[in-house]
Amino acid sequence: MHRTKTCGELRISDAGSTVTLAGWVQRSRKMGGMTFVDLRDRYGITQLVFDSETDPELHEAANKLGREYVVQVTGKVAERSNKNPNIPTGDIEIIATGLNVLNKSDIPPFTIEDETDGGDDLRMKYRYLDLRRPAVRKNLELRHRMAFEIRRYLDSKGFLEVETPVLIKSTPEGARDFVVPSRMNPGQFYALPQSPQTFKQLLMVSGFDRYFQIVKCFRDEDLRADRQPEFTQIDCEMSFVDQEDVLEMFEGLVKHIFKYVKDIDFSEPFPRMTWADAMRLYGSDKPDTRFGMQFVELKDLTEGSGFSVMDDAKYVGAIVAPGCAGYTRKQLDKLTDFVKRPQVGAKGMMWVKYEADGSIKSSVGKFFTDEQLKGWLERGEAKPGDLMLILAGDTMKTRKQLCELRLEMGSQLGLRDPQKFSCLWVVDFPLFEWDEETQRYYAMHHPFTAPNPDDVDMLDSDTGAVRATAYDMVVNGNELGGGSIRIHDSQLQDKMFRLLGLSEEDAQYKFGFLMNAFKYGAPPHGGLAFGFDRFVSILAGLDSIRDVIAFPKNNAGRDMMIDAPSEIDDSQLDELCIKVDLEEA
Ligand code: ASP
């Protein structure tokens, strides 16, 4: 080894011992005849001292060190007179007696510190330097810890980790597939899996009983703020289970992670909420339940005032912001601007202030009596000092807008603390989603999800109202994962494909292997997948999954460091029998 100790482990009890360290020069400071160098490795930072009086030559060499030089230093551990309580090695320093430059470094394009001067693009281009920053490194350490604990929990429950193929068949449903041309089969393509869904179901048919895999998945989507074209799932499947068994097993997993990684104990069972309630009370299938402010429906109380905005609306909904009656005109205007932003899409916002002295003020005061407004406030259980914010319009759209407004108010009131965690299961999702544009049903989860047994009779007569045996785990307003009990009967699966507009030939072509497998004794089964990147980012208290991925892509799907995607040689294209026509693009 080039070293006897790391840069993070020496303490006052080591004083007097001779050690050799190796690492990167974080910075150096010259003070009189002394030069101080901070040496960094993965484990920490240790201060080195070079004294011109005791060893002028060595001191001279130390003064030539540049940032990010890789060096090996030998010296004696000594107690520091000027201790640094902010780092674990802050009580000691190394009085250097030997210095060996292992490698020089160009001046790095940004500072390798938690607060860096490097912008996003620059940091991504030099991601290997960005990863030297302790803040980024810590995220990957957390990621490792979590992956380890996930494996420990699932192994203890009898799950087997099985790898499934990365080159599979293209069966786009949901997102677009990434495709890979096959040289040996000219004109034919593999697809990269959007998830190992059908493979894990086949493993259940094979009798594996309990499967998991921490696995890369690929979806060719237009990248919204926090998506990556390749991302990691904790993918799981179990045989001979009902929904309740799956929820219990994976609630256990989430609690295990919180306990062993964050030292947070959830003693109570996670709440369950139906999809319909989540939409009614929060306007979202992934409600942020760190705070209240549930929706209050007012339509019946607003009827017949002659105020067309409310009269013409199918839905009138409100939230009560506690203690906000003092909001100024300017603050209210800002909120109105917020809901009118194209991303939110409301036409306007109404408000009622329940002043601390019990009086009432409202933007719609000329259409309603104080008595009527009081009725609204009472329904919302508002107290003097509270502010009611109201939106009106089409039911689903307005609920989504009110959801945005609620989250905004939650942020403004500091109710969305990233260090506080609120988990719940959302259950009873609809099986289908109607798409106006293509005039057909889509599977809300995926085509392999079983209908709620109580609703099977409605599959033809009331298709849109059929509930799925599907569930999502939601944490702090994020969908952490989701899954379902699967169809394990080839006839029901066939029917499902039909309802989704797949012809018999299409279904055979795309999923014949699965329907065939179901003919050979498929056990009842179900499972779920967690978004691993998201899980890590939530525990790290970060908004973006990019910060917990070692080599992420940018919003245009590019890897800025290796500069991918890129063109390929004509000879490669020829081998693949592919002609590129950019005019089409
Ligand atoms: N494969 C599903 C998904 O990626 C999860 C599941 O149903 O297990 O969303």
User: Across the chain, what does the average pLDDT equal?
Assistant: 96
Would you call 233 helix, strand, or coil by DSSP?
A: strand
CB of 484 sitting under 6 A from ligand 1: yes
Task: Give percent of the chain with pLDDT exceeding 90.
Answer: 94
CB of 281 sitting under 6 A from ligand 1: no
Over range 178-189, report the average pLDDT.
Answer: 97
Counting from 1 in the atom list of ligand 1, the atom nearest the Cα of 196 is 1
Query: Tokens 């109105």 map to which residue?
Result: 336
Q: Ligand 1 centroid vs 56 CA: distance in angstroms?
A: 65
Counting from 1 in the atom list of ligand 1, the atom nearest the Cα of 528 is 8
Interatomic CA distance for residues 37 and 26, integer angstroms: 7
Nearest to 383 by CA among 436, 312, 330, 325: 325
DSSP β-bridge partners for residue 238: 210, 526
Per-residue model confidence (pLDDT) at position 117: 86
pLDDT digits (tens, 9 = 90+) for 522-554: 999 999 999 999 999 999 999 899 999 999 999
Counting from 1 in the atom list of ligand 1, the atom nearest the Cα of 197 is 1
CB of 443 sitting under 6 A from ligand 1: no
State the amino acid at position 365 in one-letter form: G
Q: Ligand 1 centroid vs 198 CA: distance in angstroms?
A: 10
Residues whose CB is less than 8 angstroms from the CB of residue 495 and which lie 6 or more positions away in sequence, other chains included: 459
The answer to whether 126 and 561 are in contact (CB under 8 A) is yes
Whether the predicted pLDDT of 384 surpasses 90:
yes
Interatomic CA distance for residues 343 and 339, integer angstroms: 8
pLDDT digits (tens, 9 = 90+) for 323-361: 999 999 999 999 999 999 999 999 999 999 999 999 999
Per-residue model confidence (pLDDT) at position 174: 73
State if pTM tops 0.75.
yes
Interatomic CA distance for residues 298 and 313, integer angstroms: 11
Interatomic CA distance for residues 115 and 136, integer angstroms: 11
Q: Ligand 1 centroid vs 236 CA: distance in angstroms?
A: 9
Candidate from 159, 197, 514 with most ligand 1 atoms within 8 A of CB, to mutate: 197
Interatomic CA distance for residues 62 and 210, integer angstroms: 58
DSSP structure string for 107-166 = PPSS--SSS-S--HHHHHHTHHHHTTSHHHHHHHHHHHHHHHHHHHHHHHTT-EE----S
The answer to whether 427 and 273 are in contact (CB under 8 A) is yes
CB of 201 sitting under 6 A from ligand 1: no
* Strands 315-321 vs 296-297: parallel, antiparallel or unpaired: antiparallel
Helix (H) or strand (E) holding 77, with range, is strand 70-79
DSSP β-bridge partners for residue 470: 484
Locate all alpha helices (DSSP H) within 438-531, ordered by sequence: 458-461, 490-499, 504-517
pLDDT digits (tens, 9 = 90+) for 435-473: 988 899 999 999 999 999 999 999 999 999 999 999 999
CB of 196 sitting under 6 A from ligand 1: no
Per-residue model confidence (pLDDT) at position 204: 98
Nearest to 466 by CA among 433, 495, 430, 497: 430
Task: Give percent of the chain with pLDDT exceeding 70.
Answer: 100
Over range 278-298, report the average pLDDT.
Answer: 98
Interatomic CA distance for residues 453 and 540, integer angstroms: 39
CB of 493 sitting under 6 A from ligand 1: no
Would you call 61 helix, strand, or coil by DSSP?
A: helix
CA 162 to chain centre: 24
CB of 529 sitting under 6 A from ligand 1: yes
Would you say how long the chain is, in residues?
585
Closest residue CA from atom 8 of ligand 1: 528
pLDDT digits (tens, 9 = 90+) for 91-139: 999 999 999 999 999 999 999 998 888 888 999 999 999 999 999 999 9
Closest residue CA from atom 1 of ligand 1: 197
C-beta atoms surrounding 562 within 10 Å: 11
Read off φ and ψ for residue 85, nearest 5 degrees. Answer: -70, -10
Q: Which two tokens stand for residue 146?
A: 């979590």
524: DSSP letter: P
Residues whose CB is less than 8 angstroms from the CB of residue 314 and which lie 6 or more positions away in sequence, other chains included: 299, 393, 394, 395, 398
CB of 246 sitting under 6 A from ligand 1: no
Whether the predicted pLDDT of 173 surpasses 70:
no
pLDDT digits (tens, 9 = 90+) for 186-225: 999 999 999 999 999 999 999 999 999 999 999 998 877 6
Per-residue model confidence (pLDDT) at position 225: 67
Whether the predicted pLDDT of 89 surpasses 80:
yes
Interatomic CA distance for residues 246 and 237, integer angstroms: 9
Q: Is the dihedral of CA 56, 57, 58, 60 positive or negative?
A: positive
Whether the predicted pLDDT of 238 surpasses 90:
yes
Over range 52-57, report the average pLDDT.
Answer: 96
